[in-house]
Amino acid sequence: MSSEPITIGVLALQGAFEEHQRSLEALSPLIRTTQIRTPDQLANIDGIILPGGESTAMGLIGDSTTGLWEALRSYVHSGKPTWGTCAGMILLAERCVGTSAVITKGQSLIGGVDILVCRNYFGSQISSFEMGTPAPPKPAVKLEGMKEEHDGKAFPGVFIRAPAILTAGPGVEILGKVVAVPCRAAAVVLQELERKIEAGETVVQMGVVDALERKEGGGVCYTNVRLHKDVNSTNFEEEKKEVNLMHEQINIDLPGASDETNAREVICAVRKDNILCTAFHPEIADDLRWHSYFVGLVLESKQVKA
């Protein structure tokens, strides 16, 4: 239990930074928040949150703000408590696919966590939804006066143009997984990613891939992106059972989702040392358990320093 006030910064270039501030301040009067827009503002905080929003816009603004991106990289890679939600998670990834087609130099990443992220895995704005996700761990350290809310119930994950973590490297602790069908555009990106991996390529960044096929006589149709489509395969019946079993676990029906046989298990929350990533928006849910967990990381870090 700690009674010492802490200050948590929230990157305020774009996105849901005020929502994070409200959630943190609702936990305890000992938590102060501040908006981060310049490198010098990083000096007096105990931890930082990179909020959800538009990762491309954040990267463009960050790159054009003198010294900010370099300062953020230094802050994150030094091991200081950092939490990225949705777009913020993309920024903390070492590898990303499905990046914006309008950015010729690729998505500007801060890095720090060995994860491969698929941007907009769950689809566009109209595909936003809420589903139960694994509950966060209990915080190791609490602030005096904070309520005990960690009852183990599923957390109401709000997914808005959300990314998904496809793979996590050594040393990355997986805190949550969900089973979901990628949107059509993401499914085509994943198909191309798998082709590149099979060819022996190392993929760090990859842009969006055209999900439409143009017919010679005119007109377009969606690209066939089924993962299991070889009916002559000796493993076809086993693959079919596996797909049917996975489909039974899905409790969401997204507008614009790809063929149901593309259902797969993806990662929605990870931790690497003092860096936390969630694919969804905890700051929008009426549930403060993830914020409580991050505050615990900040307190742990302060105790180690002391």
Of 282, 304, 37, 298, residue with least CA distance to 143: 298
Choosing from 20, 118, 283, 291, the catalytic residue is 283
**3-class state of residue 289 by DSSP:** helix
Question: Where does the chain have alpha helices with state H?
Answer: 17-27, 55-64, 68-77, 87-92, 184-198, 236-248, 289-305
Residue 281 annotated in active site? yes
- Given pLDDT bands bounded at 50, 70 and 90, which one contains residue 257? low
Residue 228 annotated in active site? no
End-to-end CA distance of the chain: 15
Q: What is the pLDDT of residues 189-214, one digit of tens each?
A: 888 888 888 889 888 888 766 555 55
Q: What is the pLDDT of residues 34-88, one digit of tens each?
A: 999 999 999 999 999 999 877 877 877 877 788 898 999 999 999 999 999 999 9
Residue 86 annotated in active site? yes
Choosing from 183, 192, 281, 291, the catalytic residue is 281
Choosing from 20, 86, 96, 118, the catalytic residue is 86
- Are 53 and 14 a contacting pair, CB within 8 Å? yes
The top-scoring range by mean pLDDT among 225-229, 236-240, 257-261 is 257-261
- Are 21 and 129 a contacting pair, CB within 8 Å? no
Provide the pLDDT for residue 234.
Answer: 46
Kindly state the percentage of the chain with pLDDT values over 90.
Answer: 45
Q: What is the pLDDT of residues 132-178, one digit of tens each?
A: 999 999 998 888 877 766 678 999 999 988 999 999 999 999 999 99
Provide the pLDDT for residue 226.
Answer: 57
Rounded to an integer, what distance in angstroms lies between the CA atom of residue 301 and that of residue 177? 26
Rounded to an integer, what distance in angstroms lies between the CA atom of residue 141 and that of residue 122? 34
